[in-house]
Amino acid sequence: MNQALATDIAIRNAIIDLERVNVTFGGEKNKTVALAETSLRIENGEFVALVGPSGCGKSTILKLVAGTLSPSEGHIFVTGREIGANDVRIGMAFQNPTLLPWLNIRDNVMMPLKIVPPFKRDFARKKSGEYRDRAEALLAKVGLSGFGDKFPWQLSGGMQQRASLCRALIHDPTLLLLDEPFGALDQFTREELWEIMQTLWIERRPTVLLVTHDLKEAAYLATRICVMQARPGRIIDDSVVPFARPRTIDVSFQPEFVSLTQRLRERIVAARAVHEVQP
């Protein structure tokens, strides 16, 4: 590493820093640009929502930060170090609960403690003591106390998603990545989980990156909303959400909230219209 680059890295204190990142799929002939020249900087403790139509590269950004996808061009820094070289703790929840069907809910929630250092070192010793209590306490917070011994298929979709949130949080991640975790739920369960999510975030203050196409969800939960457009995927709007916390569902009926979601909606619709005019 040369001197200039080393200094460059030293002055970064953002937890996530995407620098002119390009992601392309396919060969020369049928090249798809999933993400074009995207830069995004997220400070420690922020709750950032990525919204936009499907195919705009929201999930691509999430995969880049999670380290399950490599950029075609550009750099991604997490806690000041290039992705892959850092040891930041990441928790992730997906649209599907993705619980392991052969483990009960408690063991599912405890899975990260088995894998992630420094917890994994003591896993064998603490799994039926301290770690078990930790999992039960977290399950109780999301309203699943007493369900630790159940298996995933014995729970409803909403309950599975709660357990999945617990699994994403059990190892106290610095970075929480949420890929439309409330997308497949009914309206009331969704709103209930927004509230739980907010409470957990206020308590623990991880940096959160939430991918969603629900503007209300974004405005309710996030401190900052990035609007994306498709083909090529890029960020076209970046707004701060000013409402005081803890927010309740009543906030979503206030004029400021409505006008914010209205404005974001118009930006997305406009971006789509431009796209549709193109051949």
Partner 1 sequence: MSAAAKRQILSAICILGFFVLWEIICVAFHVSDLVLPRPSQVLVTLWTQFPAIWPHTVQTVYTTLLGLGLGIVFGLALGMLIGSSRLAYDVAYPLLVGFSSIPKVAIVPILVLWFGSGTVPAVLTAMVMCIFPIVVNVAAGLASTEPELQDVMRTLKATKLEILWNIGLPRTMPYFFASLKVAATLAFVGTVISETVASNRGIGNVMMIASSSFDVPLVFAGLFILAALGVALYVIFSVIEGRVTGWARRGDNFSAGG
Q: Which residues bind partner 1 (CB under 8 A)?
A: 66-68, 90-92, 94, 96, 98, 100-102, 104, 111-112, 114-116, 149-151, 153-154, 167, 171, 177
Instruction: Provide, rounded to whole angstroms, the least separation between the CB of residue 239 and partner 1.
Output: 28
**Residue number with CB closer to partner 1 (80 or 232):** 80
**Residue number with CB closer to partner 1 (66 or 251):** 66
Instruction: Provide, rounded to whole angstroms, the least separation between the CB of residue 177 and partner 1.
Output: 7
**Residue number with CB closer to partner 1 (102 or 188):** 102
Instruction: Provide, rounded to whole angstroms, the least separation between the CB of residue 217 and partner 1.
Output: 21
**Residue number with CB closer to partner 1 (171 or 216):** 171
**How many residues appear in the chain?**
279
**Residue number with CB closer to partner 1 (119 or 257):** 119
* Alpha carbon distance 179, 23 (integer Å): 18
Instruction: Provide, rounded to whole angstroms, the least separation between the CB of residue 79 and partner 1.
Output: 14
**Residue number with CB closer to partner 1 (149 or 256):** 149
CB distance 210 to 222 below 8 Å? yes
Instruction: Provide, rounded to whole angstroms, the least separation between the CB of residue 7 and partner 1.
Output: 28
Instruction: Provide, rounded to whole angstroms, the least separation between the CB of residue 81 and partner 1.
Output: 14
User: What does the chain look like in DSSP terms, one character per residue?
Assistant: --HHHHHHHHT---SEEEEEEEEEES-STT-EEEEEEEEEEE-TT-EEEEE-STTSSHHHHHHHHHTSS--SEEEEEETTEETTS----EEEE-SS----TTS-HHHHHHHHHHHSTTGGGGHHHHTTTHHHHHHHHHHHHTT-TT-TTS-GGGS-HHHHHHHHHHHHHTT--SEEEEESTTTTS-HHHHHHHHHHHHHHHHHH--EEEEE-S-HHHHHHH-SEEEEEETTTTEEEEEEE----SS--GGGGGSHHHHHHHHHHHHHHHHHHHHHHH--
**Residue number with CB closer to partner 1 (208 or 215):** 208
Instruction: Provide, rounded to whole angstroms, the least separation between the CB of residue 167 and partner 1.
Output: 8
